[in-house]
């Protein structure tokens, strides 16, 4: 099973700042089959990025994904108030599909 480790656990930033979230895999994720989700309190997760770098439909271009192999990054170029949430990475290259433990982006 591929273990995904996200860092940092919590990111304290102000609106307008840049957020950089990391997701590291215990082994290579085939074909960059990595997705990112946003989850707000009391809501279901929402797909942001798939294939490591492709934005899902309707996702603003301030969200971008990059990486390959074992190291992946989600970048939010300028934080908007609605972006403060928990973010999860998920790999779907090797069953069982697994998630990282999440990074909370909170208002500083």
Partner 1 sequence: QVQLVQSGAEVKKPGASVKVSCKASGYTFTGYYMHWVRQAPGQGLEWMGWINPNSGGTNYAQKFQGWVTMTRDASISTAYLELSSLKSDDTAVYYCARSRQWLHWFDPWGQGTLVTVSS
With contacts defined by CB under 8 A, name the span among 10-18, 19-27, 67-75, 85-93 that binds partner 1: 85-93
For partner 1, the closer of residues 50 and 72 by Cβ is 50
d(CA 76, CA 94): 27
Q: Which of 16, 44, 61, 81 binds partner 1 (CB under 8 A)?
A: 44
Closest Cα to residue 2, out of 74, 89, 86, 66?
A: 89
Q: Which two tokens stand for residue 55?
A: 């934005």
**Residue whose token pair is 């099973």:** 1
Helix (H, G, I), strand (E, B) or coil at 35: strand
d(CA 10, CA 18): 14
Does 90 sit near partner 1 (CB under 8 A)?
A: yes
Smallest gap from residue 75 Cβ to partner 1 (A): 19
Q: Which of 63, 84, 87, 88 binds partner 1 (CB under 8 A)?
A: 88
Does 38 sit near partner 1 (CB under 8 A)?
A: no
Judge whether 16 and 107 are in contact, CB under 8 Å: no
Sites of contact with partner 1 (CB under 8 A)? 33, 35, 37, 44-47, 50-51, 56, 88, 90, 92, 95-102
């Amino acid at each position: 099973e591929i273990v995904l480790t996200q860092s940092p656990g919590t990111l304290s930033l102000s609106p307008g700042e840049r957020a950089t979230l990391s997701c590291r895999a215990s082994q290579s994720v085939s074909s960059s089959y990595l997705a990112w989700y946003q989850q707000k309190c009391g809501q279901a997760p929402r797909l942001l990025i798939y294939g490591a770098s492709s934005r899902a439909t309707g996702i603003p271009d301030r969200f971008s994904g990059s990486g390959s192999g074992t190291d992946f990054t989600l970048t939010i170029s300028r934080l908007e108030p609605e972006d403060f949430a928990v973010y999860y990475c998920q790999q779907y290259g090797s069953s069982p599909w697994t998630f990282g433990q999440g990074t909370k982006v909170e208002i500083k």
